[in-house]
Amino acid sequence: MSTLDSPGAAFEAQAPQTQAPQTQAPQSQAPGLVLLADGSVAFEPVEAEALSPQAPVPDAAAPEVPQGATAQRELQQADAASTDARDADLAPLLQGAFAGPVDFAHALRAAFAQAAAQAWSEMVWSDAHFLDWPLGEAAVVRALDDWAHRGRRLTLLAQSYDELALRHPRFVQWRRRWDHLLTCRTCSRVAPTDFPSAIWTPEWALQRLDLVHITGVAGPEPWRRQRLRERLDELLRQSSPGFPASTLGL
């Protein structure tokens, strides 16, 4: 009997072939390799980004800077911001009347700042002692530094400078530093109550009319400036040198 005639062989011939169960590819299989149902392996293209984790990109907007350079940069930015703030807050010159010490001091600060902004070539300050002028303020001294350039001229006229030297040491230092731009005169023939308290410039003038109540007027009118300048010139002719930089005790 042949092999095909055997019942066992016939059963084996007729029995369907069973497929081996498909196994899931392990998690560690190489990227791009795919196990097919028939047991074969195929290659599937994989993008470059999937092959390796993306490395963090350094922040190009914040390069590493030495500590000293960082501090210097911050100071420069602060100075620039301060300058911008001063320019934005530059007060206009007073035109009209003022009353009280606050308005008087505010008008003087605006005048000192505008002197630098408008490049006034000359100023004349007059007061019996300059005690209630804001000359000791740091912002005022900075404004005067901005104004002080070659060709500028500041004339001070007072009955006495003793109290000013004691009350405003910061201004005393500024006066010594810019001595070549200043002319300081003393006129003791006029009583303090009659001494003019004023600022004259080629563009604008301010005069305190009531020294007790601190009231006065200011403006750019030519007649106002001319009248004040004539009064100041009269006192200057009667004055003598005062407030020398060489004897300020600095």
Instruction: Quickly count: other Cβ atoms within 10 Å of residue 137's Cβ.
Output: 17
DSSP letter assigned to residue 56:
P
Reported as a single tens digit per residue, the pLDDT across 223-241 is: 999 999 999 999 999 999 9
Full set of structural domains in the chain with CATH: 93-247 (3.30.870.10)
Q: For residue 79, give every residue at least 6 positions away whose Cβ sits within 8 Å of its Cβ, in sequence order, or none.
A: none
For the chain, what is the total number of helices (H) and then of strands (E)? Answer: 8, 10
What is the percent of the chain with per-residue pLDDT over 70, rounded to a whole number?
A: 62
Q: In which band, very low, low, confident or very high, does the pLDDT at 23 lie, cut at 50, 70 and 90? A: very low
Reported as a single tens digit per residue, the pLDDT across 109-146 is: 999 999 999 999 999 999 999 999 999 999 999 999 99
Q: In which band, very low, low, confident or very high, does the pLDDT at 11 lie, cut at 50, 70 and 90? A: very low
Q: Is the pLDDT of residue 36 over 80?
A: no
Q: What is the pLDDT of residue 243?
A: 86
Q: What is the pLDDT of residue 90?
A: 82
Entry pTM: 0.64
- Work out the mean pLDDT of the chain and round it to a whole number: 77
Q: Is the pLDDT of residue 65 over 90?
A: no
Instruction: Quickly count: other Cβ atoms within 10 Å of residue 103's Cβ.
Output: 16
Reported as a single tens digit per residue, the pLDDT across 162-215 is: 999 899 999 999 999 999 999 999 998 888 889 999 999 999 999 999 999 999
Between 94 and 27, the higher pLDDT residue: 94
Going by C-alpha positions, the residue among 55, 21, 27 that lies closest to residue 39 is: 21
Rounded to 5 degrees, φ, ψ at 219 are 170, 175
Q: What is the pLDDT of residue 189?
A: 87
